[in-house]
Amino acid sequence: MPSDVNKGVAPSSKPKFWNDPDKRAMLFQILMILTVLGFFAYIISNALYNLKTRGITTGFDFLDQSAGFEILLHLIPFDATFSFGRTFMVGLLNTLLVSFLGVIFATTLGFVMGIARLSDNWLISKVATAYIEIFRNIPLLLQILFWYVAVLQPLPLPKQSIEMGAAFLNNRGLYLPAPVFESGFGFVMIALAIAIAAVVFLFRWNKKRQDETGQRFPVIWVSLGLLIGLPFVVYLIMGSPMSWDYPVLKGFNFRGGATIIPELMALLIALSVYTGTFIAEIVRSGILAVSSGQSEAAQALGLSKNRTLRLIVIPQAMRVIIPPLTSQYLNLIKNSSLATAIGYPDLVSVFMGTTLNQTGQAIEIIFMTMAVYLTINMIVSMLMNLYNKRMSLVER
Amino acid sequence: MIINDTKLPDLPPPGSTTGVVGWLRKNLFSTPFYSLLTLLIGYILFSTLIPAFQWIFIDSDWVGDSRDACTSGGACWVFITVRMDQFIYGFYPEAEYWRINILFGMLALLIVALVYEGTPKKGLIAAFALTIFPIFAFYMLYGGSFGLTLVETHKWGGLSLTLVLAIVGIVASLPLGIMLALGRRSQMSVVRSFCTVFIEMWRGVPLITILFMASVMLPLFMPEEIDFDKLLRALIGITLFQSAYMAEVIRGGLQAIPKGQYEAADALGLSYWKKMALIVLPQALKIMIPGIVNTFIALFKDTSLVLIIGLFDLLAIVQAALSDPKWLGYSIEGYAFVAFVFWIFCFSMSRYSQYLERKLHTGHGAR
Amino acid sequence: MKKITSLAAASAIAIGMVSGAQAASATLDSVKDKGFVQCGVSTGLPGFSNPDEKGNWQGMDVDVCRAVAAATLGDASKVKFIPLTAKERFTALQSGEIDILSRNTTWTQTRDTTLGLNFAGVNYYDGQGFMVSKNLGVKSAKELDGAAVCIQSGTTTELNLSDYFRLNKMTFSPVVFDSSDQTVKGFEAGRCDVLTSDQSQLYALRIKLADPSSAMVLPEVISKEPLGPVVRQGDDQWFNIVKWSLNAMINAEELGLTSANIDSEKDSADPSIARFVGKDGPKGSGMELSDDWAYQIIKQVGNYGEGFERNVGSGSPLKIDRGVNALWSQGGFLYAPPMR
């Protein structure tokens, strides 16, 4: 009967709302938003209440107060009269310094060891394997503490410094002559910039020429000449507008020059050695991921082993390598925060340590510190993603 | 004319390509450059490893009860042996050591049962290890009920604390990680973006800042009546941090399950949760085990950071012992001991995960 | 639009719900509930707060906590010691993790007024000094121009140090560590020429050197460092308990009451002693303590002088003189208000 059919259809065309996935999803999401908002409201109101009843000062006014303490290593001018806000900058720059150097050293070490592990030479491959298996499986914090002892202990006191030309090495650090730039040095920098631009152009031109004619041009030597020669000529023309500030032993320690403090050395060694093991494994698996037909074909074409690696294998392996390499770089940057264990004045040690202590404003300072790491992380991932995109475009 | 029509026997390969000499030539001295490298590395190894070996084993002192026993100029392992109990059990009362020992034994049994391939009912054992065992272990360690004396958490320390931190971190972060991973792959935009933000935020900051936040700020966020134990706060921090990494491992596993599985489950009319619990997760979890073991290794090493917030894990307790005026100057021995313990744990775990990876690869692999 | 308003309303309800649930709980009640006093101490500073081989905490700062436990719970052993680094200490107190911070903490205006803390008194008058290796040949802090100085981070010494050097037109490079142990190790390894800290700590840290006689403490004292126990602001009752526990220890020394003789002196005719042991006078009611609270402190912990001798004085490896930490009647600064 038609009426029965209608009866049967009517309920199914209008299901109960909890049986409709869309509505259910909507409800669920609204609930979730409410829970999250409620949660934040809860902890924020708690925090405000606690801060108020306990009479703890809040706000960011402390950033303008003068710091009153000194920092061992500062890339920008700093002394006790500068503000707490400045300590933030000093700490941040020190973090960036150690991260930047760490990334370079770790990458170099990682590539060398990763390739060495695949070497035909039994000893080399075993040494690389031993390095990877040992240092990968020991906590980084322990390695930092160990290297600090290992760096400090064998070095002599300032009065018995090891002399290396104009540089001195002792347990207060490595003292190097520092360049002092006089007026006119700007032209030398301009010359250097021009040389760099010329080298970039040269490389592109050479690649194009090689693609078209197969002829190679000794780019390496020419560009080295350009990079060194051009600034040097300008330097001479301008009448040597630079002098050196030599470190001199005066009183207890060396004065003048530039210093690489032992904390930085220990931290750099530990970070590069530790991260290097992971990069080595990434490089190795990247190389293994390139099918062996590729290197066999290259050998059949008569390319040397070195060239096969450089021109055929690594460019293809890069595609596999870059994503995990990015996360290793991010790890290294985050791990640089362990500096606080040996007193290297990075962001965590200076800002989340001393500044937090002198002002007592934990919430503001911890959030600022976390925000910095998040931002650095986001910037690095973005850059590496860009690079990765360029690399993967090569794919057909 | 002499014609030799009998086949001459095969000559052996030239002496220089077989045996020790051949192996050396092939593997160590194939080119002049390699020969030079081999000699150089060989020399460095020889001149460092021999004294190190001598320092560790030959010139070292193993027995005694004070630093006077260390006379032979090598490593002073007496420092370690004298304090071994403290390094393993922390400040746990000596009369209660048996409780930790029982747990160590159970843990070892569970691990053997889970790793050994022929064990029947592995799923049940794993479920036991992930649910009942931690609860049991908590009551054993903390006491205060079932006739056990109460042992405050600030007395926990040493290797046992390191294990507590690592195991709780991994066990508690597993369900959280699964929820986050499912959320990040959800169709609901709010859920997806919330989970994504959560995961990326925790992954973007160093563990130290999280531990510091957990240790000093968490109490400010709670009403006054609620009082968290310091260890509990560290555990909350570690768990949240770890769950973000776990979520990414699980997401990888979920992505590796062929789409057909999802579609087939949908076609059978299974609800979302049934689809996940009965079809997708059981397959995905199996593929994820190596990844989970790897995050566990990372977590195990990271537990040493609790030193910075003043918990006495293995590294911290050894460091504290190093500044004992009676035992000054044995930092290298102390650090070497900690390094050795961590290395044994991490190396064996990484071997296990590599073995699993190989095993999974030969089967109906993900790719 | 409708959705947004309903959302806002819902979250407003959520906020209302939580804020209603909060009520200030008195520290004394929570201590009595828990059955122990939570006391923040250092991670190991001989003489002030340091665990012995068996893990029992000992020292001047530890005694203050034990005294408070004796006064409130009648048992000096009911203390849970929480070792804190210099960095953690204030947040641990602010957040309620500990009930008293007794961790060689200097009383300053900033700390007293902006951190939500209250200093309950002074249990040790200290000043910042310098320790140098003897073979440097330095006789005065004025000769330290250009030195590398080991300091513990997050302390007032860090600030005094840079003030002092700036004032005397000298330079230094700060080598900052998280714990006092690390500063000693740094000093021993030769990372710095000078170790600076409160003088009492210098003596304590010196015995942590492999060869304590190789280092000497310079005569200059460059700052005032009154060290004392700290409590949270907003709980006056608890503040009073801590303040008077410390006062009781000092008054007991003045009255000649020691842990050994208090039982026999209890029934003395001296009205001050009668008030002290709670037979007369204010007793403990104003602080909601038992009447014999002060008696319990002296019986179980001892008076100030006993603690001093035992922990930092002649009975200890530190061998520090009473100096300014003697009673006012003996030429020192210790002057506790009368108990009446």
| Phi/psi at C119 (5° precision) | -90, 125
The answer to whether the CB atoms of C14 and A38 lie below 8 A apart is yes
pLDDT band, very low/low/confident/very high, at B99 (cuts 50, 70, 90) = confident
Chain A's closest residue to B339, CA to CA, is A138
ipTM of the complex: 0.85
Q: What are the tokens at B320?
A: 């504290």
Do the Cβ atoms of A315 and A298 come closer than 8 Å? Answer: no
Strand-pair partners of C217: C131
> Does residue B309 contact residue B212 with C-beta atoms inside 8 Å?
yes
Q: Do A41 and C147 touch (CB under 8 A)?
A: no
Please report the pLDDT score of residue B363 as a whole number. Answer: 47
Residue of B91, B223, B230 with shortest CB distance to C82: B230
Average pLDDT over every residue of C239-266 = 92
pLDDT confidence tier of residue C334, bands split at 50, 70 and 90? very high
Q: Residue C254: how many CB atoms within 10 A of its CB? A: 19
Question: Confidence band (pLDDT; 50, 70, 90) for A7?
Answer: very low
The mean pLDDT value of chain A amounts to 83
Q: What are phi and psi of B163, to 5 degrees?
A: -65, -40
Counting Cα atoms < 13 Å in the Cβ hemisphere of C91 gives: 32
CA distance C119 to C122: 8
Task: Please report all neighbours of A, defined by 3+ CB atom pairs within 8 A.
Answer: B, C
Q: What is the pLDDT of residues B314-347, one digit of tens each?
A: 988 888 787 776 777 777 888 889 999 999 999 9
Q: Which of A53, A68, A250 sits opposite C159 (nearest CB)?
A: A68
pLDDT in tens, A72-105: 888 888 888 888 889 999 999 999 999 999 999 9
Q: What is the pLDDT of residue C22?
A: 33
Mean pLDDT, range B297-306, rounded to an integer: 89
* Closest-CA distance of chain C to residue B332, Å: 13
Using one digit for the tens of pLDDT, what is the confidence trace for A30-53? 888 898 899 888 888 888 887 777
Instruction: For an interface test with B, give the residue of C97, C177, C233 to mutate (most B CBs within 10 A).
Output: C97
Residue range A338-364, pLDDT digits in tens: 988 888 999 998 898 888 878 878 888
- pLDDT higher than 90, residue C327: yes
Identify whether the C-beta of residue C296 lies closer than 8 Å to the C-beta of residue C241.
Answer: no
Question: Which B residues 273-312 touch A at CB under 8 Å?
Answer: 297, 301-302, 304-305, 307-308
| Span B199-222, pLDDT tens digits | 888 888 999 899 888 877 787 787
Closest chain B C-alpha to A388 CA, distance in angstroms: 19
Buried (b) or exposed (e) across C18-34, using 16+ Cβ within 10 A? beeeeeeeebbebbeee
d(CA C16, CA C310): 54
To test the contact with chain C by mutation, choose from A141, A146, A354 the residue with the greatest count of C C-beta atoms within 10 A, namely A354
pLDDT at C16: 37
Q: Does residue C19 have a pLDDT over 70?
A: no
Q: Average the pLDDT over A268-289 and give the result.
A: 92
Could you tell me which residue, C297 or A232, shows the higher pLDDT? C297
Judge: A69–C94 Cβ closer than 8 Å, yes or no. no
Average pLDDT over chain C, rounded to an integer? 84
Report the distance separating Cα A295 and Cα A309, nearest Å. 8
> CA-to-CA distance for A352 and A5, rounded, in angstroms?
73
Return the percentage of chain A with pLDDT > 70, whole number: 93
| Range of lowest pLDDT (A153-157, B340-344, C310-314) | A153-157
Distances C151 to B324, C39, C89, C129, C157 between C-alpha atoms, Å:
20, 25, 17, 11, 7
C175, β-bridge pairs: C150
- Winning range, highest mean pLDDT, from A133-142, A192-201, B68-77: A133-142
- At residue C299, the pLDDT reads 93
- pLDDT attached to residue A335: 92
Over residues A211-219, the mean pLDDT reads 77
Considering only the beta carbons, identify the residue of C22, C185, C188 that sits closest to B224.
C22
Yes or no, beta carbons of A374 and B201 under 8 Å apart: yes
Higher pLDDT, C152 or A257: C152
Show the 3-state SS of chain C.
CHHHHHHHHHHHHHHHHHHHCCCCCCHHHHHHHHCCEEEEECCCECCCEEECCCCCEECHHHHHHHHHHHHHHCCCCCEEEEECCCCCHHHHHHCCCCCEECCCCECCHHHHHHECEEECCCCEEECEEEEEEHHHCCCCHHHCCCEEEEEECCCHHHHHHHHHHHHCCCCEEEEEECCHHHHHHHHHCCCCCEEEEEHHHHHHHHCCCCCHHHEEECCCCCCCEEECCEEECCCHHHHHHHHHHHHHHHHHHHHCCCCCCHHHHCCCCCHHHHHHCCCCCCCCHHHCCCCCHHHHHHHHCCCHHHHHHHHCCCCCCCCCCCHHHCEHHHCCCECCCCCC
Task: Give B234-244 pLDDT, tens digit per residue.
Answer: 898 999 999 99
Tell if the CB–CB gap between A37 and C158 is shorter than 8 Å: no
Contacts across the A-C interface (CB distance below 8 Å)? 144
Contacts of A149 in chain C (CB under 8 A): 189
- With tokens 């050795």, the residue in question is B340
Q: B190 and A32: CB-CB below 8 Å?
A: yes
Give the C-alpha separation, B322 to C56, whole Å: 19
Q: Which residues of B touch A334 (CB under 8 A)?
A: 205-207
To test the contact with chain B by mutation, choose from A370, A379, A385 the residue with the greatest count of B C-beta atoms within 10 A, namely A370
